[in-house]
Amino acid sequence: MDIAKRSPKNPLLKPTDLKPAIDGMEIACLLNPGVFRYDGKIWLLLRVAERPIQKDEVISFPVYNEDGKIVILSFSKDDPDLNASDPRVISYKGQDYLTTMSYLRLVSSTDGLMFKDETEYPPIFGQGALESFGIEDCRVANTQEGYFLTFTEVSPIAVGVGLMQTDDWKIYKRHGMIFPPHNKDCALFEEKIGDKYYAFHRPSSPELGGNYIWLAESPDRIHWGNHKCIATTRKDMWDCARIGAGASPIKTNKGWLEIYHGADCNHRYCLGALLLDINNPSKVIARSVEPIMEPIASYEQTGFFGNVVFTNGHLVDGDIISMYYGASDEVICQAEFSITEILGSLK
């Protein structure tokens, strides 16, 4: 059952609301923001996906070259070596490319609904060979030691999880790749349990196993071990093809509550919840049988890649989760949940 209370102001942000950051590009999509409070305001760390303005007969997209400069690659749409059936990824002569280049960009708000561009705070672009196709879907953990950012690093050789750290959103300390390929959907717990840090991550095991949510522990948030699988996809259910963690888990009096995404083989993305033991988060107490949110609004069904609700950021105030999400991989939206209501829906 869909128990999300969507903002009547949705979508809050669409691609034409911002100016492209890269010269000669258009913004194709705004996606999946990290969310945090800073300087008395509510901030979104948007994933912005840009590409050159498209011409009819060719598909063109940006990549970083070896010198860290953006170059445009183009393929003719009628080239028999091109597979462009997915709007997100194209394949040419056995090599996959992304149709857009994503980077991270800050917007802020005083009411959580009207967001404005923060031009004083520079965007965060991919750097180096492991991010040459960009960086995506950044989770923001607001910890006692500062903000920790976990995001997907994409390049022709890998998809993995990167970590960086900041206190002021101007200077970033980059820690490199913390979960090697293929891995994404990494969400850090915002506090220690006992003497360890914890994180969810999503390795993919293509032959045996699948796209499952794992838990790892660390003495320093940089070196991770003791990996355990805590949730798998479920046959014939809404989350039968892939699952992945959303934002940092929420501490409740029943345990750690994690909102996660699940997709079926038609790439329909819904949200559900996991409840984990407060002292031992590898122990799953309950899990949504039905999604708590499904792509049912028009802006969630039609867009760059339709039938998607995808979240990796929220704020919590008492019983209310103010969740921000990407709809149809194109626009940014907000919805509220009651923690009590989610907990009551779990089996």
Choice between 61 and 269, CB closer to ligand MAN:
269
326 binds ligand MAN (CB under 6 A): yes
Total of residues contacting ligand MAN (CB under 6 A): 11
Q: Contact, 286 vs 275, CB < 8 A?
A: yes
330 binds ligand MAN (CB under 6 A): no
CA 179 – CA 176 distance, rounded (Å): 9
Closest separation between CB of residue 46 and ligand MAN, Å?
12
Q: How many CB atoms lie within 10 A of CB 265?
A: 8
Q: Contact, 151 vs 161, CB < 8 A?
A: yes
DSSP assigned state of 289: S
77-116 binders of ligand MAN (CB under 6 A): 88
Closest separation between CB of residue 318 and ligand MAN, Å?
29
Closest separation between CB of residue 184 and ligand MAN, Å?
7
Please write down the HEC assignment for all residues of 15-50.
HHHCCCCCCCEEEEEEEEEEEEEECCEEEEEEEEEE
Backbone CA torsion sign across 244, 343, 301, 332:
negative
Choice between 126 and 326, CB closer to ligand MAN:
326
28 binds ligand MAN (CB under 6 A): no
Q: Select from 138-146, 162-170, 228-236, 302-310 the region that touches ligand MAN (CB under 6 A).
A: 302-310
Across the strands, what pairs with 58? 76
- Applying CB under 6 A, among 103, 147, 197, 305 the residue interacting with ligand MAN is 305
Residue sitting closest to ligand MAN (CB)? 310
Q: Select from 65-73, 77-85, 210-218, 303-311 the region that touches ligand MAN (CB under 6 A).
A: 303-311
244-273 binders of ligand MAN (CB under 6 A): 269
Mask 188-227, x = binds ligand MAN (CB under 6 A)?
A: ----------------------------------------
Q: Cα dist. 219→143, 148, 193, 195, 245 in Å?
A: 15, 15, 11, 7, 21
Q: How many CB atoms lie within 10 A of CB 14?
A: 16
SS3 130: helix
- Applying CB under 6 A, among 10, 32, 211, 248 the residue interacting with ligand MAN is 32
Backbone CA torsion sign across 276, 136, 240, 203:
negative
308 binds ligand MAN (CB under 6 A): yes
Q: How many Å from the N-terminal Cα to the C-terminal Cα in the chain?
A: 13
Mask 122-151, x = binds ligand MAN (CB under 6 A)?
A: --------------xx--------------
Q: Which residues contact ligand MAN by CB under 6 A?
A: 31-32, 88, 136-137, 269, 305, 308, 310, 326, 329
